[in-house]
Structure 1
Amino acid sequence: MGDDSSRKRKVRGRKIRRDRSTKEGRRAKKELARKASKAASKNGDSPLSDPAAVAPEPFVETDAVTALRDRITGWLEADQPVHLIGPTGCGKTALALSAAVTRGRPVVWLNGDEAVDTAALVGDHAGGERYKEDDRFVSGVSKQTEIVRERWVDNPLSVAVREGATLVYNEFSRSDPAAHNVLLSVFEEGVLERPGKRGEDRTIDVHPEFRAILTSNDVEYAGVHEQQDALLDRFVGVHVDYYDAETEREIVRAHVDLEDEAVETIVNTMRTLRDDLDLVVGTRAAITAAKGLAVFDAKRNGKSETGEFDDELLTDVFMDVLVPKIAGDGPDDVSTLRSRIAESV
């Protein structure tokens, strides 16, 4: 009888120690999760955005714009990644964001450049989390164990494929093509591999609602990389060009408070320069010029209400807007540019 009671006490003692150890372990894990969550919030590790927060504002919807966006959203409904290609300043980014917003899914934004590598897309280890476990299994005796765990931070692509978000990859062709190898399995097999991640969750099954919209400048632009054919074959390419004159007037009017005649003068001048110069003169240039003219013309007591800007003022403003495109060239090129702008005006 005595032996049986002693055995029960020992069993109960082990159970108490095991329960206490389990409880301490749970508390430590909760603390680890809390610290990781706090760090993620602080470092902005989650790139998910509400669609309403990324909607381009203002965004002009003429028949030409709506028709183009409908093509993009149609391909997205067909579960095809869409690659928007066109000259700088033609509105690709705003169009991509508008198409992403119409889906009603979370949006993940990614901007391409030379620094983007595979880790910047899928994630990487971001230091370690350290905590201690106290095990007081005998009265007056304490055993302390220090545990270190590496913290993995998911980057935009991993978050997008897991959450079924719309990935908007702006300036896609400015990133090194080697970084995009991970996209092949995403679009072909529906699986994302995360190099550097260990364990069973090294891969992520692509969420059925995941979609991707990529934007790139034409290949002749500086800093643009040619991507591998194996990847480009998995995209649908939509070429985006400059809009018609009416759409460009509506876009400028949405950004700058000027009379219709003044906006028409600016857009007509911009379109003439686009045809006459060996430079890219996008709609963005017209918006910038309109903002400048709204200020400078008022100071010169001009006639922006009627659209009759002074020729010298128009030349000055468009010169200021376009001269950065020849930065680093000699003074002769700058003088030539001014002469050609003056002639066009």
Structure 2
Amino acid sequence: MNIPNNVKELILKRKEKFVNDKNLQLIGKPGYSSPDEHILPDALTSLVLHKNVLLKGPTGAGKTKLAESLSAEVGQPMHSINCSVDLDAEALLGFKTLVEKEGNTTIQFVEGPVIQAMKNGHLLYIDEINMAKPETLPILNGVLDYRRTITNPFTGEVIKAAEGFTVIAAINEGYVGTVPLNEALKNRFIVIDVPYIQGSILEGVLKSQSSLSDGDLIKSFVQLSEDLVTQVRNGQIPEEAASVRALIDTCDLAVFMPPMRAIQRGIIDKVEDEREKAAIRNIAETIFG
């Protein structure tokens, strides 16, 4: 990975800051690979310059793995939020609860991932940020811009983020259930396009991250992935059918069952439309028989 020396120095400083952090179990695992050799170093550079990073790409392209690899590279714990239409302020910031202590009942505020990350100077990963309702996200405006500040509506506390706090977010544009990301919000990020992993890079990922060791079978699964990606780009099958995550699961299953049955369980049965299922099955049968 080609990283400028001045960026390496900033990475080392971050690692030193968190070496004794009590939340080291929150550090992500490395392993992201990409056909674009600049993605990881560019994302790292943005991160150590305290820029928020928005990872944009199709489902299963490895955005979460990239976020985990960034956490691992800088040795910085990362708190995560999975967005949905039900996401509210409590899921982001925390909630009040009753606590019994020494025979007395008191109200205690349990801090959510945003406040935990801010107070500790950790990373905050917001997955599928464009799945959240548009009226929910403005809560984060002050968190994401130069102020790095939020007033907790549940306690009145004004929280200023500790040094090192940075946000990584991910979006799947055009995916069912998503909404266009507000331009003012998008403007608070450095945007990095994350493409599908293919060819020899995908082969390496399958060898290192799945249980399958049969080299010929792995090459066949790489071919399957390439054919599925082509069909996704042609609009014939949904993005999740070409997910690297689903492919790794399928390779694991193929250690213990015939490949076609593994593909059925790991990929085909995740798709709802019968025509799309048939298209995936036909592609798989041309490769695996």
Do the aligned partners of residues 69 and 336 (structure 1) sit closer, same or farther apart at CA in structure 2, a change above 3 Å counting? closer
Instruction: Report if aligned partners of 2:250, 2:267 keep a CA contact under 8 Å in 1.
Output: no
Residue 287 of structure 1 corresponds to 248
| Residue 196 (1) aligns with residue 151 (2) | no
- Aligned-residue sequence identity (percent) comes to 20
Unaligned runs of 5+ in 1: 1-47, 133-146, 298-313
Alignment-derived partner of residue 212 in structure 2: 257
1:137 matched to which residue of 2?
A: none
Contact 1:49 1:107 in 2 (8 A): no
Cα 1:127–1:96 change in 2 (3 A) is same
Q: CA deviation at 1:236?
A: 1.1
Q: How does 1:315-326 map onto structure 2 within 5 Å? A: 315-326=260-271
- Tell me, yes or no, if the aligned pair for 2:125 and 2:167 is still in contact at 8 Å: yes
- CA RMSD in angstroms comes to 2.7
Structure 1 residue 70: Cα displacement = 1.3
Matches of 2:37 and 2:94, distance apart in 1: 36
Show the counterpart of 1:119: 90
Question: How many Å separate the matches in 2 of 1:124 and 1:51?
Answer: 24
SS of the residue 1:83 aligns to:
strand
**Hey, which of these two has a bigger chunk of helix by percent?**
1
The number of aligned residues is 260
Task: Give the equivalent residue in structure 2 for 1:25.
Answer: none
User: After superposition, where does 1:1-345 map in structure 2 within 5 Å?
Assistant: 50-51=23-24, 53-56=26-29, 59-60=30-31, 64=35, 67-127=38-98, 149-188=106-145, 189-198=147-156, 202-217=157-172, 219-254=173-208, 255-276=210-231, 278-279=236-237, 280=239, 281-297=242-258, 314-327=259-272, 329-330=273-274, 334-335=277-278, 337-343=280-286
Measure the CA separation in 1 of the matches of 2:142 and 2:111: 18
| AA matched with 2:159 | I
Q: Partner letter of residue 175 of structure 1?
A: A
Q: Which residue of 2 aligns with 1:39?
A: none
Which secondary structure does the structure 1 equivalent of 2:216 belong to? helix
Structure 1 residue 79: Cα displacement: 1.4
Q: CA deviation at 1:208?
A: 2.1
Give, in whole Å, the separation in 2 of the partners of 1:191 and 1:61.
31
C-alpha contact 1:96 1:213 (8 A) present in aligned 2: yes
Task: Provide closer, same or farther for how the CA distance between residues 49 and 182 of structure 1 changes in structure 2, counting only shifts above 3 A.
Answer: farther
Aligned partner letter, 2:256: V
- Structure 1 residues 179-188 or 244-253, which shifts more? 179-188
Q: Secondary structure at the match of 2:55?
A: strand
1:273–1:341 contact (8 Å) kept in structure 2: no
Distance across 2 between alignment mates of 1:105 and 1:179: 27
Could you say what secondary structure the match of 2:96 adopts?
Answer: strand
Question: Per-residue displacement from partner, 1:286-313 (whole Å, max 9, x unpaired)?
Answer: 323322332224xxxxxxxxxxxxxxxx
SS at match of 1:249: helix
TM superposition shift of 1:258: 1.6
The secondary structure found in structure 2 opposite 1:264 is helix
CA deviation after TM superposition for structure 1 residue 244, in Å: 3.4
8 Å CA contact retained: 1:185, 1:191: yes
Q: Which amino acid aligns with 1:249?
A: E
Q: Which has the larger radius of gyration?
A: 1
What whole-Å deviation, never above 9, does each CA across 1:183-224 have from its counterpart, x for those lacking one?
A: 1111222211111214xxx2111212111111222x221122
Deviation of the 1:149 alpha carbon: 4.3
List gaps (5 residues or longer) in structure 2.
1-20
Q: What's the offset of the Cα at 1:63? A: 7.2
Query: Cα distance, 1:121 vs. partner?
Result: 0.9
Provide closer, same or farther for how the CA distance between residues 323 and 262 of structure 1 changes in structure 2, counting only shifts above 3 A.
closer
Q: Counterparts of 1:128 and 1:290 in 2: how far apart (Å)?
A: 47
